[in-house]
Amino acid sequence: MMRLTALALLVLFFDWGGGAAGADPLATAGIGVANCGKLATDMKPEEGLNNTANFLIFYWAQGYMSAANITTLESDSNYVDLSKFDDKTLLPMIYDYCSKNPDKKPISLIDSLLDKTEKLSGEWKKGTIPWAAE
């Protein structure tokens, strides 16, 4: 219960939960589109996933990168090996990026990583995600 309360307070404080009702539709949401300046202040990479800001951005990035992999597998049978991006690798990268670019968003770094990281070839049966099937 305490962790849920802390998470709710973080969402309110950092406005990571999105905008007001009736706002424009969003294609991406969450801590990954938050302001880097706010995030860098709260991140402590040396604490790993014991730090709330760390685990929020790490798990957001893992989900975002996984979704990107499904998209690239569907389109050209390529994907990024996410085992290269554990918390000990990804958290310092995000912290460093956000510390140096407080006016940007973490999603910009993740998009760059996805673009520049070597892709592996994989097999994926199109239409395996029922809600995305044509």
Residue 4: band (very low, low, confident or very high) from pLDDT cuts 50, 70, 90:
very low
Taking residues 119-129, report their average pLDDT: 82
Taking residues 94-120, report their average pLDDT: 96
Residue 133: band (very low, low, confident or very high) from pLDDT cuts 50, 70, 90:
low
Residue 16 within any structural domain of the chain: no
Taking residues 121-128, report their average pLDDT: 80
- Is residue 130 predicted with pLDDT exceeding 90? no
- Which residue, among 52, 51, 50, 13, has the nearest Cα to 35 in the 3D structure? 13
Q: Which residues pair with 80 in a beta bridge?
A: 119
Distance (Å, whole) CA 54 – CA 46: 10
Residue 113 within any structural domain of the chain: yes
Residue 66 within any structural domain of the chain: yes
- Is residue 109 predicted with pLDDT exceeding 90? yes
Indicate the burial class of 110 (C-beta count within 10 angstroms; 0-12, 13-18, 19 or more): buried
pTM for the full predicted model: 0.77
Residue 14 within any structural domain of the chain: no
Instruction: Say what the pLDDT of residue 5 is.
Output: 43
- pLDDT, one tens digit per residue, over 40-49 is 999 999 999 9
- pLDDT, one tens digit per residue, over 58-92 is 999 999 999 999 888 888 889 999 999 999 999 99
Instruction: Say what the pLDDT of residue 9 is.
Output: 41
28: left (phi over 0), alpha (psi -120 to 50) or beta: beta
Domain count, the chain: 1
Query: 78-80 and 119-121 as β-strands: parallel, antiparallel, unpaired?
Result: antiparallel
Instruction: Say what the pLDDT of residue 77 is.
Output: 86
Residue 103 within any structural domain of the chain: yes
The residue range of the domain holding 54 is: 28-132
The enclosing H or E element of 121 equals: strand 119-121
